[in-house]
Amino acid sequence: MQYGLKTFQGDVFGGITSAVVALPVALAFGIASGLGAEAGIYGAIAVGFFASVFGGTRSQISGPTPSMTVAMAVIISTHANSMGEALIIVVLAGLIQVLLGVLRIGRFVVYTPHV
């Protein structure tokens, strides 16, 4: 597939669209973590960078999700006195995701009902 002006315009439009959708969620993620809205923005930028470097598909969009905001709020509030413990939980969750990817567990998604 040739990369031309049409493809570039589509990429720019897709990037702007995903940024508009991800911005409020990133702000909420930062506020819910107790670190402020600015931390949420920086976190979303970091996720976007790492997804672009290590992403698996050309059309992948990565960023914070509302369900993750709720999960992180519970983790942060439970471990509010020790951010180190919260960091360990997040790192372990990431390692589990990497392990699932290495083991190619995603291939079993086809057996999930579409109901």
| Residue 38 scores a pLDDT above 80 | yes
Q: Please name the residue that has the structure tokens 């960078």.
A: 49
How many angstroms separate the CA atoms of 101 and 45, rounded? 23
Contact 40, 33 (CB under 8 A): yes
The two three-digit tokens of residue 26, written as one number: 């990133």
Q: Give the C-alpha distances (Å, rounded to integers) separating 115 from 20, 108, 111, 112.
A: 30, 16, 12, 9
- Comparing 10 with 66, which gets the higher pLDDT? 10
pLDDT bin (cut points 50, 70, 90) of residue 92 is very high
Neighbours of 22 (CB within 10 A): 22
Mean pLDDT for the stretch of residues 97-111:
89
| Residue 108 scores a pLDDT above 70 | yes
Which of these ranges, 4-18, 42-56, 60-74, has the smallest mean pLDDT? Answer: 60-74
How many angstroms separate the CA atoms of 23 and 63, rounded? 9
Neighbours of 78 (CB within 10 A): 12
Where are the domains positioned within the chain?
5-111
How many angstroms separate the CA atoms of 24 and 28, rounded? 6
| pLDDT for residue 28 | 84
